[in-house]
Chains A and B, each alone.
Chain A
Amino acid sequence: MKQLVACLMMVAIILAVPVAHAKEAATMAADPVLEKRVMALAYELRCLVCQNQSLGGSQSDFAIDLRNEMREQMDQGKSDEEVTEFMVQRYGDFILFRPPVKSTTLPLWIGPFALLAIGALVLFIHLKRRKRTINTAPLSDEERKRAESLLDNK
Chain B
Amino acid sequence: MTRHLKYLLPLAVFGVMVWFLGRGLYLNPREVPSPLVDKPAPVFTVADLHRPELQFASENMKGKVWILNVWASWCRACRDEHPLFVELGRQGIVPIVGLNYKDQRGDALEWLRALGDPYVASAYDVDGRVGMDYGVYGVPETYVIDKQGIIRYKHIGPVTAQSLQTKVLSLVKELQG
Contact = CB atoms under 8 A, between A and B. Distances in A.
Contacts of B132: 65-66, 69, 90
A108 B55 CA distance: 47
B135 A91 contact: yes
Interface in A12-37: none
Contacts of B29: 51
A77 B91 CA distance: 49
A49 B138 contact: yes
A61 B138 CA distance: 10
A63 to B, nearest CB: 10
A94 B137 CA distance: 13
Contacts of B138: 48-49, 62
Interface string A32-58: 000000000000000011010000000
Given A48-B137, A49-B138, A51-B29, A91 B35 contact: yes
> From DSSP, what is the main secondary structure of chain A's interface residues?
helix
Contacts of B45: none
Contacts, number: 35
A51 B31 CA distance: 11
A91 B133 contact: no
Q: How large is the interface on A (under 10, 10 to 19, 20 to 34, 35 or more residues)?
A: 10 to 19
A90 B132 CA distance: 7
A122 to B, nearest CB: 11
A70 to B, nearest CB: 11
Interface in B134-177: 134-135, 137-138
A90 B32 contact: no
B40 to A, nearest CB: 12
| List of 10 A-B pairs having minimum Cβ-Cβ separation, nearest first | A90-B135, A92-B35, A48-B137, A94-B32, A91-B135, A49-B137, A62-B137, A65-B128, A49-B138, A92-B32
